[in-house]
């Protein structure tokens, strides 16, 4: 700020008895020099309503001047709002860009998952066509056939075992042992069937319940 301008401002500032600044009015040229802008810019700010003039008497003439303190306050507020407004817009733009990038990333992930699913589906269809999968009905039928053959083989074991050791046992003892072996095979075959139908864990529960009933034959169901 030039010394002449400082002198003009000091001369125009009046002080009340309690130290408050009284109204001090200045021409457009002084305000322009104070703000560091052109006279035209001060006129534009006035037209836009940023700063205001006040009617005052100057040598008996009615003229419009700028009250210094309110003018400075209005201009500072204008600059602050302008600066924060730009910052606010920049933050919103950044938020929108971040959301847009996030949506693009999610879309890319979804596209990748879709392509992977389509590839897996194509692979399964190809393997089915090549005969690498069989139907559940075929599995059940094969299981039934296997169990029939296995049961015949298992039920023939008691007599074959007794035939191998019959010379070492009495006839009555041989029949008892053969019956015990047959009973045990029947029990194991029953557990085998249950496990095939309901699963291993449920088969264990069935076995426990069967054991409990044997220990307590008088239990009523």
Mean pLDDT of the chain: 77
In a domain, 55, yes or no: yes
Q: Which structure tokens are listed for 33?
A: 């020099």
Say if residue 58's pLDDT is above 90.
no
Structural domains in the chain (count): 2
Cα dihedral 39/42/44/50 (nearest 10): 180
End residue of a domain, out of 27, 45, 77: 77
Q: What is the average per-residue pLDDT within 54-62?
A: 86
Confidence (pLDDT) at 219: 45
pLDDT digits (tens, 9 = 90+) for 5-50: 555 555 454 444 444 444 588 999 999 999 999 999 999 999 999 9
pLDDT digits (tens, 9 = 90+) for 116-149: 888 888 888 888 777 777 778 888 888 788 888 8
Could you give the count of Cα atoms lying within 13 Å of 116 in the half-sphere of its Cβ?
Answer: 6
In a domain, 90, yes or no: no
Instruction: Work out the burial of residue 191: count CB atoms within 10 Å of its CB; fewer than 13 is exposed, 13-18 middle, 19 or more buried.
Output: middle
Confidence (pLDDT) at 204: 55
Q: Which structure tokens are listed for 154?
A: 């298992």
Instruction: State the residue range of the domain holding 27.
Output: 3-77
In a domain, 99, yes or no: no
In a domain, 109, yes or no: no
Residue 73 and residue 140 share a domain: no
End residue of a domain, out of 42, 59, 77: 77
In a domain, 188, yes or no: yes
- Higher pLDDT: 162 or 50? It is 50
In a domain, 185, yes or no: yes
In a domain, 44, yes or no: yes
* CA distance readout (Å), 107 to 83, 98, 115, 120: 36, 14, 12, 20
pLDDT digits (tens, 9 = 90+) for 202-214: 545 555 555 555 4
Confidence (pLDDT) at 147: 82
**CATH number of the domain where residue 65 is located:** 1.10.10
**pTM confidence score:** 0.34
End residue of a domain, out of 77, 92, 111: 77
Edge-first strand order for the sheet with 61-67 is 25-26, 61-67, 54-58
């Amino acid at each position: 700020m030039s010394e002449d301008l400082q002198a003009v401002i000091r001369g125009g500032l009046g002080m009340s008895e309690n130290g408050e600044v009284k109204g001090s009015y200045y021409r457009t040229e002084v305000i322009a020099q104070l703000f560091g802008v052109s006279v035209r810019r001060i006129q534009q700010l006035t037209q836009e309503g940023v700063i205001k003039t006040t009617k005052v008497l100057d040598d008996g003439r009615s003229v419009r001047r700028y009250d210094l303190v309110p003018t400075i306050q209005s201009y500072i507020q204008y600059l602050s709002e302008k600066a924060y407004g730009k910052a606010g817009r920049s933050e919103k733009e950044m938020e929108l860009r971040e959301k847009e990038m996030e949506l693009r990333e999610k879309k890319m992930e979804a596209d990748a998952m879709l392509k992977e699913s389509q590839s897996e589906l194509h692979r399964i269809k190809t393997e089915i066509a090549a005969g690498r999968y069989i139907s559940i009905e075929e599995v059940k039928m094969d299981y039934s056939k296997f169990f029939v053959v296995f049961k015949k083989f298992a039920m023939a074991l008691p007599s074959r075992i007794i035939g191998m050791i019959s010379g070492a046992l009495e006839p009555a003892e041989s029949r008892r042992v053969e019956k015990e072996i047959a009973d045990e095979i029947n029990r194991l075959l029953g557990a085998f069937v249950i496990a095939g139908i309901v699963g291993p864990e449920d088969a264990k529960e069935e076995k426990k319940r069967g054991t409990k009933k044997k220990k307590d034959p008088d239990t009523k169901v």
